[in-house]
């Protein structure tokens, strides 16, 4: 028994010694995903891991840690060692939106490193093919004439909802928001005619748009699969951003050299054909932002959402909704 | 091409050696994770997602689907043998399956579960072939008010699940509804009843809940008894006797298949709900409802058929509408997207090989599962000969590994242990876990559909009675409720203690 304990001890000592000496990465990297398996963010993470591990020369293990739209994983990340072997891919919800709506165990701008922004989901506003709203302007006009009557299906407390809040402020109409459990149920509600208009990410709608069951009447940027004339934010002078971002977070204080290695690995991986193809299928625009700019940009986005969350009466300090 | 040609075409795709291989790998892995308590199809499928980057889309999808329905075969094994559900969808199988095992009929129970799964799978595939697209269109008519009424009906059906005191069952149902409310508010995204635990933000997971209530509590109960307790005699009955028992369950299998097929199509439905509803329906149809829970073969046949039928019919909304109706389907959806295959109305036109290949591979896979599982029954039954003091620590270990593997969260292990003690106390005081679990499954749907309906109607309750589908569910619910109260009163007159 003594021998066994001694040998385990020696092994541990030696292996930690070896790790300190050899360069990064010398063992597999854990890439957490703050959202459930099978979702868009999860597929993106697995594609990124697949593409980048060849460049980094170490396996990247994708581990799902879902909960609270990524906030659970972010809280857990705060307690991890900043050695570059634990990273978190999640949406910007955990940094820019959730902190305004609920009390969390972390400070989004103090307790974690904002390592990278890898992509942005394209956002669409959709109606069923037989909807009287032929164009976005028809919808705006109707909503103005019928205050509070427009029903809008969306994912709870999502960028799509706050985007609609912003648009309604600009155009001067009111609407009834009907929250669904994100993309699939919202699409069902649009298809079944349960809501007049729905908002969500672009990829799930592709098949129905091509089959002429659903029309996209507004999007925040150009959608490649739409064959007809399409209208984006620009066409209506909507000069604001309400992005849904795929970001990578890290525990605070990763050594600069490790950061550089990881950055290089991921950026190279993002150039691979597999990654590009999978991002395109998910209708995610590749962003590839690194360094100081990431924090600055997230701070700006957080400011945008803070105001909209207050306007929508969903801010945490307010008691009544 | 006519439908016959499509079937032949699908068959030719499914029987290509490569696809046969992936089908076998899928159902084999499925059976394994089905047997292991807690480890569910979602984890295994997402782990295999990157593997599918490198194989053909048809092969990938055949393999992933095989894992899911393969799981429904394996899940009942631990339910029957040790009263620990291998999957959430085999919870209800514990009630009669374990009792059968205690009576030395484990082999018959395992057999009827496999045969029932096979028949249900076959019927479900026919449904999928002929009805996928028309049915999916009908399912779209289900908006928030329709769901609310449907769930109300479900809650009334729940009262049929009870064996003992109705009052105790209703108390359990209320607790189940409450547990279902824990987590982020679906409208405002604020944490609710989480008592400061961040891990409770997405609610209490079904796996820690059922593993605790059924599995851990079973172990605790057994700890009280002497460890030298007699091992259930498990003579493997003669083929003739088994056959006779299996044939007697034929209507239960068919009813279970139909119920499972229908429930599987509904978004939010799936195998878990299907097994509960099938059990309740079977009890209603039975001439001896009071014998349910004492080791009735119908009580195993119906839910086991239903969960397999539902596992396959839940592919309908995914393939024909591009709508994943539960988490497993969401993973499958991810798998299809990786190969640039968009499930939805154009799937048949753009990728007939995927649709027909998958459907026919499921037929092949079901036959593989039958051949794989029937001979194994003898081996599984022998597991019961392992003395309890060795068997249960191993089972507990699997439970812990399984629960952890779901979300990689230690908290869920604590949660399972907590519900284990709750389940132990419940058993001691004669409360049943089944109504609690079913109410818990329905609770989030009940809440969100209710609130969505009222936001759509601007607060008016008339929305539930002005739509024909919703109105008919409400009427059925009311009828069943009155019937239930009436028969309870009648029974109460005969022997006062039953209510």
- The span from the CA of B443 to the CA of A66, in Å, is 21
- Is residue B80 within 8 A of residue B91, CB to CB? The reply is no
Nearest to A176 among B49, B324, B455 (CB): B455
- The span from the CA of A180 to the CA of A177, in Å, is 10
pLDDT of residue B129: 83
pLDDT category at B228 given cuts 50, 70, 90 is very low
- The span from the CA of B31 to the CA of A261, in Å, is 42
The per-residue pLDDT for range A72-100, each reduced to its tens digit, is 999 999 989 999 999 999 999 999 999 99
Nearest to B201 among A67, A157, A195 (CB): A67
- Is residue B60 within 8 A of residue B335, CB to CB? The reply is yes
pLDDT of residue B298: 92
pTM for this prediction? 0.82
Nearest CA in chain B to A317: B190
Helix (H) or strand (E) holding B422: helix B410-428
pLDDT of residue B321: 78
- CA A67 to chain CA centroid, Å, is 14
**Distance, in angstroms, between A254 CA and closest chain B CA?**
24
pLDDT of residue B368: 93
pLDDT category at A116 given cuts 50, 70, 90 is very high
Nearest CA in chain B to A98: B189
pLDDT of residue B496: 46
Contact A65 B408 (CB under 8 A): yes
Contact A38 B322 (CB under 8 A): no
Q: What share of chain B is helix, strand, coil (3-state, %, to 5)?
A: 75, 0, 20
Contact A46 B49 (CB under 8 A): yes
Residues in CB range of A101: below 8 A, 6 or more apart: A157, A309, A314, A315, A316, B188, B189, B190
Contact B188 A281 (CB under 8 A): no
Strands in A123-128's sheet, in edge-to-edge order, are A175-180, A150-155, A197-201, A123-128, A214-219
Nearest to A43 among B322, B338, B342 (CB): B338
Q: Which residues of A touch B144 (CB under 8 A)?
A: 178, 194
Average pLDDT over residues B369-398: 81
pLDDT category at B499 given cuts 50, 70, 90 is very low
State the helix-helix crossing angle for B106-139 and B93-102, rounded to 10 degrees. Answer: 170
Domain that holds residue B460: 3-498
- The span from the CA of B325 to the CA of B263, in Å, is 11
If one compares B196 and B337, the residue with the highest pLDDT of the two is: B196
- The span from the CA of A204 to the CA of B494, in Å, is 58
Is it true that A27-121+243-311 and A123-219 share their CATH fold? Answer: yes
Q: Which residues of B touch A98 (CB under 8 A)?
A: 189
**Distance, in angstroms, between A273 CA and closest chain B CA?**
12
- Is residue A156 within 8 A of residue B187, CB to CB? The reply is yes
Q: Which residues of B touch A151 (CB under 8 A)?
A: 455-456
If one compares B380 and A209, the residue with the highest pLDDT of the two is: A209
The per-residue pLDDT for range A246-271, each reduced to its tens digit, is 999 999 999 999 999 999 999 999 99
The DSSP annotation for B163-185 comes to SS-HHHHHHHHHHHHHHHH-EE-
Q: Which residues of B touch A211 (CB under 8 A)?
A: 344-346
Q: Which residues of B touch A176 (CB under 8 A)?
A: 455-456, 458
Contact A98 B332 (CB under 8 A): no
**Distance, in angstroms, between B403 CA and closest chain A CA?**
13
- The span from the CA of A156 to the CA of B84, in Å, is 36
- The span from the CA of B461 to the CA of B149, in Å, is 12
Does position A319 have pLDDT exceeding 50, yes or no?
no
Contact B344 A42 (CB under 8 A): no
Which superfamily does A123-219 belong to?
Periplasmic binding protein-like II (3.40.190.10)
Nearest CA in chain B to A50: B50
Average pLDDT over residues A8-35: 72
**Distance, in angstroms, between A180 CA and closest chain B CA?**
8
Nearest CA in chain A to B141: A192
Question: In the predicted model, what is the mean pLDDT of chain B?
Answer: 84
Residues in CB range of A214: below 8 A, 6 or more apart: A126, A127, A128, A129, A187, A190, A191, A205, A208
Angle, alpha carbons B118-B312-A203 (nearest 5°): 160
Contact A37 B452 (CB under 8 A): no
Nearest CA in chain B to A313: B188
Total domains, chain B: 1
Helix, strand or coil, per DSSP, at residue B385: helix
pLDDT category at B107 given cuts 50, 70, 90 is confident
pLDDT of residue B262: 87
- Is residue B260 within 8 A of residue B313, CB to CB? The reply is yes
Nearest to B191 among A42, A102, A281 (CB): A102
The four Cα atoms A296, A297, A299, A305 give a dihedral, to 10 degrees, of 170
According to DSSP, the β-strands at A29-33 and A60-64 are: parallel
pLDDT category at B104 given cuts 50, 70, 90 is confident
Nearest CA in chain B to A148: B458
The residues that bridge with A88 in the sheet, in sequence order, are: A32, A249
- The span from the CA of B461 to the CA of B454, in Å, is 7
Contact A192 B140 (CB under 8 A): yes
Q: Which residues of A touch B45 (CB under 8 A)?
A: 37-38
Give which of A98, A118, A120, A137 is closest to A247, Cα–Cα. A118
pLDDT of residue B150: 84
Nearest to B187 among A63, A151, A156 (CB): A156
Q: Which two tokens stand for residue B34?
A: 């089905």
If one compares A188 and A15, the residue with the highest pLDDT of the two is: A188
- CA A308 to chain CA centroid, Å, is 18
Residues in CB range of B483: below 8 A, 6 or more apart: none
Q: Provide the 10 A C-beta neighbour count for residue A85.
A: 22
Where are chain A's structural domains?
27-121+243-311, 123-219
- The span from the CA of A201 to the CA of A223, in Å, is 11
The residues that bridge with B191 in the sheet, in sequence order, are: B184
Q: Which residues of B touch A213 (CB under 8 A)?
A: 345
Does position B166 have pLDDT exceeding 80, yes or no?
no
Contact B190 A195 (CB under 8 A): no
A134-148, A225-239, A253-267, B392-406: range with lowest mean pLDDT:
B392-406
Q: Which residues of A touch B142 (CB under 8 A)?
A: 192
- The span from the CA of A32 to the CA of A76, in Å, is 10
If one compares B195 and B54, the residue with the highest pLDDT of the two is: B195
**Distance, in angstroms, between B466 CA and closest chain A CA?**
14
Contact A98 B189 (CB under 8 A): yes
SS3 per-residue string spanning B334-374: HHHHHCCCCCCCCHHHHCHHHHHHHHHHHHHHHHHHHHHHC
Q: Which residues of B touch A192 (CB under 8 A)?
A: 140-143
The per-residue pLDDT for range B436-487, each reduced to its tens digit, is 888 888 888 899 899 999 999 988 999 999 999 899 989 988 988 888 788 7
In this predicted complex, what is the ipTM? 0.80
Query: For residue B100, what are the CA distances in angstroms to A309, B229, B301, B306, B340?
Result: 57, 18, 12, 19, 48
Q: How many Cβ pairs closer than 8 A exist between chain A and B?
A: 159
Query: For residue A313, what are the CA distances in angstroms to A318, B383, B483?
Result: 7, 59, 46
B219-223, B258-262, B277-281, B466-470: range with lowest mean pLDDT:
B219-223
The per-residue pLDDT for range B385-435, each reduced to its tens digit, is 777 778 788 888 888 888 887 778 899 999 999 999 999 999 899 888 888
Does position A287 have pLDDT exceeding 50, yes or no?
yes
Q: Which residues of B touch A314 (CB under 8 A)?
A: 188-189
List, in sequence order, every beta strand (DSSP E) within B239-396.
Answer: none
Which superfamily does A27-121+243-311 belong to?
Bordetella uptake gene, domain 1 (3.40.190.150)
- The span from the CA of B308 to the CA of A311, in Å, is 48
pLDDT category at A2 given cuts 50, 70, 90 is low
pLDDT category at B77 given cuts 50, 70, 90 is confident
- Is residue A37 within 8 A of residue B153, CB to CB? The reply is no
- Is residue A223 within 8 A of residue A76, CB to CB? The reply is no
Contact A72 B201 (CB under 8 A): yes
């Amino acid at each position: 028994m003594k021998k066994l304990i001694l040998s385990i001890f020696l092994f541990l000592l030696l292996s930690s010694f070896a790790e300190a000496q050899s360069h990064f990465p010398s063992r597999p990297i854990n890439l957490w995903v703050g959202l459930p398996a099978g979702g868009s963010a999860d597929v993106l993470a697995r594609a990124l891991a697949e593409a980048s591990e060849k460049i980094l020369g170490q396996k990247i293990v994708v581990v799902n840690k879902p909960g609270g739209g990524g906030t659970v994983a972010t809280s857990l990340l705060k307690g991890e060692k900043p050695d570059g072997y634990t990273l978190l891919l999640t949406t910007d919800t955990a940094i820019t939106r959730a902190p305004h709506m609920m009390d969390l165990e972390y400070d989004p701008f103090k307790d974690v490193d904002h390592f990278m922004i890898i992509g942005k989901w394209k956002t669409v506003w959709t109606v069923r093919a037989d909807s009287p709203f032929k164009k976005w302007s028809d919808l705006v006009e109707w909503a103005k004439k019928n205050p509070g009557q427009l029903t809008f299906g969306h994912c709870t407390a999502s960028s799509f909802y706050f985007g609609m809040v912003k648009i309604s402020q600009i155009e001067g109409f009111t609407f009834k928001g009907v929250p669904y459990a994100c993309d699939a149920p919202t699409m069902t509600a649009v298809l079944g005619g349960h809501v007049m208009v729905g908002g969500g990410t672009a990829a799930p709608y592709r098949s129905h748009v091509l089959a002429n069951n659903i029309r996209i009447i507004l999007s925040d940027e150009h959608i490649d699969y739409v064959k007809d004339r399409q209208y984006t934010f620009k066409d209506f002078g909507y000069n604001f951003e309400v992005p849904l971002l795929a970001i990578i977070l890290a525990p605070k204080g990763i050594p600069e050299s490790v950061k550089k290695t990881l950055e290089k690995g991921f950026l190279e991986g993002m150039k691979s054909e597999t990654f590009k193809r999978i991002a395109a299928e998910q209708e995610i625009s590749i962003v590839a932002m690194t360094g100081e700019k990431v924090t600055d940009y997230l701070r700006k986005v957080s400011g945008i959402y803070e105001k909209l969350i207050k306007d929508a009466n969903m801010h945490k300090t307010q008691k009544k909704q | 091409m006519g439908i016959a040609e499509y079937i032949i075409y699908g068959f030719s795709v499914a029987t290509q050696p490569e696809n046969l291989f992936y089908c076998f790998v899928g159902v084999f892995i499925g059976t394994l994770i089905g047997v292991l308590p807690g480890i569910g199809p979602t984890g295994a499928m997402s782990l295999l997602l990157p593997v599918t980057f490198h194989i053909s889309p048809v092969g990938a999808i055949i393999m992933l689907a095989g894992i899911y329905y393969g799981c429904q075969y394996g899940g009942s094994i631990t339910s029957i043998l040790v009263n620990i559900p291998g999957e959430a969808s085999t919870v209800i199988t514990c009630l009669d399956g374990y009792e059968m095992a205690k009576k030395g009929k484990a082999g018959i129970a395992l057999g009827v579960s496999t045969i029932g799964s096979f028949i249900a799978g076959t019927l479900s595939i026919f449904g999928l072939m002929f009805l996928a697209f028309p049915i999916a269109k009908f399912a779209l008519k289900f908006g928030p008010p329709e769901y609310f009424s449907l769930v109300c009906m479900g809650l009334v059906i729940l009262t049929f699940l009870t064996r003992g005191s109705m009052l105790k069952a209703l108390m359990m149902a209320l607790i189940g509804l409450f547990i279902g409310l824990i987590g982020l508010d679906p409208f405002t995204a604020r944490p609710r009843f989480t008592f400061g635990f961040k891990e409770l933000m997405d609610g209490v997971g079904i796996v820690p809940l059922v593993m605790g209530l059924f599995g851990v509590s079973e172990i605790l109960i057994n700890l009280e008894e002497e460890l030298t307790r007699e091992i259930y005699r498990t003579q493997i009955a003669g083929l003739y006797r088994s056959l006779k028992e299996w044939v007697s369950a034929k209507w239960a299998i068919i009813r279970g298949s139909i119920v499972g097929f229908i429930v599987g199509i509904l978004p939010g439905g799936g195998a878990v709900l299907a097994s509960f509803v099938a059990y309740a329906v079977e009890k209603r149809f039975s001439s001896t409802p009071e014998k349910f829970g004492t080791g009735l073969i119908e009580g195993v046949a119906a839910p086991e058929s239903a969960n397999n039928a539902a596992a396959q019919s839940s592919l309908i909304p995914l393939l024909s509408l591009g709508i994943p109706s539960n988490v497993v389907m969401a993973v499958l959806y991810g798998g299809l997207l990786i190969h640039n295959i968009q499930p939805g109305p154009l799937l048949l036109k753009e990728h007939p090989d995927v649709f027909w290949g998958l459907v026919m591979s499921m037929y092949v896979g079901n036959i593989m599962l039958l051949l794989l599982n029937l001979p194994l029954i003898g081996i599984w039954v022998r597991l019961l000969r392992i003395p309890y003091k060795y068997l249960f620590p191993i089972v507990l270990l699997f439970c812990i590994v399984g629960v952890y593997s779901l979300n990689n969260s230690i908290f869920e292990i604590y949660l399972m242990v907590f519900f284990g003690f709750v389940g132990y106390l419940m058993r001691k005081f004669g409360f049943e876990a089944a109504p609690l679990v079913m109410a818990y499954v329905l609770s989030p749907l009940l809440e969100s559909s209710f609130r969505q309906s009222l936001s759509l109607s601007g607060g008016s309750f008339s929305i539930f009675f002005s739509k024909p589908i919703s109105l008919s569910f409400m009427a059925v619910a009311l009828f069943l409720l009155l019937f239930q109260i009436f028969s309870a009163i009648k029974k109460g007159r005969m022997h006062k203690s039953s209510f």
